[in-house]
Structures are given as structure tokens and as C-alpha cells.
């Protein structure tokens, strides 16, 4: 397998854009990535696209085809990937594989989404064989209620306080103030967060990511191509995909058992572990992490599950400022999903853009000093998980 470089990255700012289509958002992100890479559209040899669940794609999630028509129909092969919130990471994995295998030298990866208003409805059809549909009508548990239960379990196990949860949201927005692509760039005090509306105990409004429109794009290339364009390439050292195990700590499906010492979201741990192995690095080598923070809970649980810190240690790291850009374990210096909002299929590509800017030293006031290794992670409906390691 060949080395793979991240040659160019581009992003459309996150927000709500009533006057723009998903293809409009995509084109701006793609054109920015091409400019950043220093190449033109005809040089792209393949496209790997995260398929939108909610908009565009001719009604079939064919977003890659839409952007090819927009940029210029030249016969380029297109791969449309669907994996819920992990779709961007899946698209990246296919793009990585196409370059690493030697099949293509220049591949475009992108994801874009225009989200509907209100709570995300995970099931698109009223089908009695669909577990997600049955969960919704039988249990009535949308995302915030599920995350709230995870939080209360952690509070019982480790003594996590509501104030500690709120500090994560405060930190996220302090980072986002300096990110021109973030949707919510205002600072929140601890009191602001604690006084925001209770959604599902113990989670308040400012501790849960909203939904947004957004788009991001990445140009991947071979080492030979990268060295023609730059003397300091950023390398995509690994890209992995996994699904949850039968012994996952969150019962999903008829085969689930809940063993002592279980791992929650085993799809994430499996993807991250394999990403470390494939990249030849370990948790102690990581300079920064962009992880999927649908809620503040994940900034506590995920680092512990992946070996970045010890079980029960995450709260103290937050309180000491160690998860800020200048701390020992920077988490989401971008501002994360809490500050961007969730544009589902674009999230995995957004993370790669953010890591690339950090490793290049181009992140401005939210720059992680001497960043050398970045970890990205997403998880999506259906027990899908992805991870990627970037190096410079």
C-alpha cells in the first residue's frame, strides 16, 4: 500500500442557509479544497462522497453525482457512501483506499448536508422490521434522552457533576470564537450553560449539539503527487471503519449481552484501535483529537475508552484545562459539534480539514503548539464507526 497525503482541504461555514442548496454548499467546499491543493477539477481521478440522508442526491443520496455535474461531467468514477453520521469517515476510507492501492493518484472526498428542523428522525419509513422505527414508537427515546442516561450512569460511577459537564461546553465555545467556520462563536460562562434549558437530565440545551447545514472537502493524493506541490505534506497515516460488537455495553440487537467492564460504542473503540495500529502510533503520541461530541458526555467517555487517559480521569483533565488547545490532551480545538452543529454526513470530512490546518500550523488562535499527530473519529446510525490518523 502506498502513502497517502492530504493535499487540499476546504469548508463551507456551518449554519442554516435557506437560500442555498446542498450542491451550492458542496461546490464552495470542493472549489476551496481544489484551490488549497493547487490542482484543477480535470485532474481529479475519482470522487468519494458521503451520501446525504436528508437532502439532494436526486432523492437517492447520489451527492457525488450531483457535484460532478456541477463541476463538469467528465466520466470520473463516483462512489456514494451512506453510514449516517459516519458517512464522511466512510467516504474518506474509500478515498484513502483508492489512493493507497495505487488505483488513482488524486481523489476528491466530500460531504455535505442540509438538515431538517427539529429532532433528527433516524428512521425514514414506518417499517415494523426496522429496529430504529420500533425504538421510536415503543420507547420514545430521541438522542438527548439516550445521552442523558449515559450521563447519569457516569455520574453514578465516577461522581461526575453538572458543573463538570458544563465546563466542557464552555471550553468548546471558547475555541469556536476563533473559528470562522463555526456556527456558534459566542463565549458562554459556566452560569450561561447551567442556566440554559434542561433538555433531558442532566443535559442542558448548551450541552447538546444542534443541527446545521454544512459542507467540507478533502483532496487526497499519492506521495509522488504531494511532493510536487509541497515540501511539508500532511499524511493520512490510517483510515478505518468498524461496526459494533455483540458484547457492546449499549444493548443493540438480539445478540447483545452486557459484560462487566463493557465498552460503550464498541464501533468507535474498534475503529480507533485499528487506526492506531495501522498508523504505527499509540494514544501517547496524539497531539490533538477531533471527536464526535453530540453531547458533552463523549468528551469524558471516549478518551478513557481509547486509552488517552485512565478511567474516571477525564473530569479532572477538563477542570485543569488539559483539554484546551494548549493543554496536554487537546480535544476539539475546532469547537466541535457543540459549536458547529451536526451536519451529519459532512462531519467526518470536517474533522480532517480541522486536523490538516492544525498540523500545518494554520489554526490561528486555537492552534495546538507543535501538533504532529491528529486523531479523528465519528460514529453513525447502524453501529458504524470510523477513525483516521493524520501525521506531519
Q: What is the pLDDT of residues 186-202, one digit of tens each?
A: 999 999 999 999 999 99
Beta bridge partners of 241: 386
Q: What is the pLDDT of residues 35-81, one digit of tens each?
A: 999 999 999 999 999 998 777 788 888 999 999 999 999 999 999 99
Q: What is the pLDDT of residues 106-129, one digit of tens each?
A: 999 999 999 877 666 555 567 777
- Compute φ and ψ for 325, nearest 5 degrees: -55, -25
Domain range summary for the chain, segments of one domain joined by +: 4-117+213-236, 138-211+238-391
Closest CA to 181 of 35, 357, 5, 50: 357
What is the per-residue pLDDT for 387? 98
Helix orientation angle between 297-305 and 143-158, rounded to the nearest 10 degrees: 60
Q: Do domains 4-117+213-236 and 138-211+238-391 have the same CATH topology?
A: yes
Q: pLDDT-based confidence at 144, cuts 50/70/90? A: confident
* Position 258 pLDDT exceeds 90: no
Mean pLDDT of the chain: 92
Q: State the CATH class of domain 4-117+213-236.
A: alpha beta
Element (H, E) at 379: strand 373-380
The pTM of this model reads 0.94
What is the per-residue pLDDT for 254? 45
Element (H, E) at 388: strand 384-391
What is the per-residue pLDDT for 123? 53
**Domain 138-211+238-391, second-level architecture:** 3-Layer(aba) Sandwich (3.40)
Q: Is residue 303 within 8 Å of 309, Cβ to Cβ?
A: yes
Amino acid at each position: 500500500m502506498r502513502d497517502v497525503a492530504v493535499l487540499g482541504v476546504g469548508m463551507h461555514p456551518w449554519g442554516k442557509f435557506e437560500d442555498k442548496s446542498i450542491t451550492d454548499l458542496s461546490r464552495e467546499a470542493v472549489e476551496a479544497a481544489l484551490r488549497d491543493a493547487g490542482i484543477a477539477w480535470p485532474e481529479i481521478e475519482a470522487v468519494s462522497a458521503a451520501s446525504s440522508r436528508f437532502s439532494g442526491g436526486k432523492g437517492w443520496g447520489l451527492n457525488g453525482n450531483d457535484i460532478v455535474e456541477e463541476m463538469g461531467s467528465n466520466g470520473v468514477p463516483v462512489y456514494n457512501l451512506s453510514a449516517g453520521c459516519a458517512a464522511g469517515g466512510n467516504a474518506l476510507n474509500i478515498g484513502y483506499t483508492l489512493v493507497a492501492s495505487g488505483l488513482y493518484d488524486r481523489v476528491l472526498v466530500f460531504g455535505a448536508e442540509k438538515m431538517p428542523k427539529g429532532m433528527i428522525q433516524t428512521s425514514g419509513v414506518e417499517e415494523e422490521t426496522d429496529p430504529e422505527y420500533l425504538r421510536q414508537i415503543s420507547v420514545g427515546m430521541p438522542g438527548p434522552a439516550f445521552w442523558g442516561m449515559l450521563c447519569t450512569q457516569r455520574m453514578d460511577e465516577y461522581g461526575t457533576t453538572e458543573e463538570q459537564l458544563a465546563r466542557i461546553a464552555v471550553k468548546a465555545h471558547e475555541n469556536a470564537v476563533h473559528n470562522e467556520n463555526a456556527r456558534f462563536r459566542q463565549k458562554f460562562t459556566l452560569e450561561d450553560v447551567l442556566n440554559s434549558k434542561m433538555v433531558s437530565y442532566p443535559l442542558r440545551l448548551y450541552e447538546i449539539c444542534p443541527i446545521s447545514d454544512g459542507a467540507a472537502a478533502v483532496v487526497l493524493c499519492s506521495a509522488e503527487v504531494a511532493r510536487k506541490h509541497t515540501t511539508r505534506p500532511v499524511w493520512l497515516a490510517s483510515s478505518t471503519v468498524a461496526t459494533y460488537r455483540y458484547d457492546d455495553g449499549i444493548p443493540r440487537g438480539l445478540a447483545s449481552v452486557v459484560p462487566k467492564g463493557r465498552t460503550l460504542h464498541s464501533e468507535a473503540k474498534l475503529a480507533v484501535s485499528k487506526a492506531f495500529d495501522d498508523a504505527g502510533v499509540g494514544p501517547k503520541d496524539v497531539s490533538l483529537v477531533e471527536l464526535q461530541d453530540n453531547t458533552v458526555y463523549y468528551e469524558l467517555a471516549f478518551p478513557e475508552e481509547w486509552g488517552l487517559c485512565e478511567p474516571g480521569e477525564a473530569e479532572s483533565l477538563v477542570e485543569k484545562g488539559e483539554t484546551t488547545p494548549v493543554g496536554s490532551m487537546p480535544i476539539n480545538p475546532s469547537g466541535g459539534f457543540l459549536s458547529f452543529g451536526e451536519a451529519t454526513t459532512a462531519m467526518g470530512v470536517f474533522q480532517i480539514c480541522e486536523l490538516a490546518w492544525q498540523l500545518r500550523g494554520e489554526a490561528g488562535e486555537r492552534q495546538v503548539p507543535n501538533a504532529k499527530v491528529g486523531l479523528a473519529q465519528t460514529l453513525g446510525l447502524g453501529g458504524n464507526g470510523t477513525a483516521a490518523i493524520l501525521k506531519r
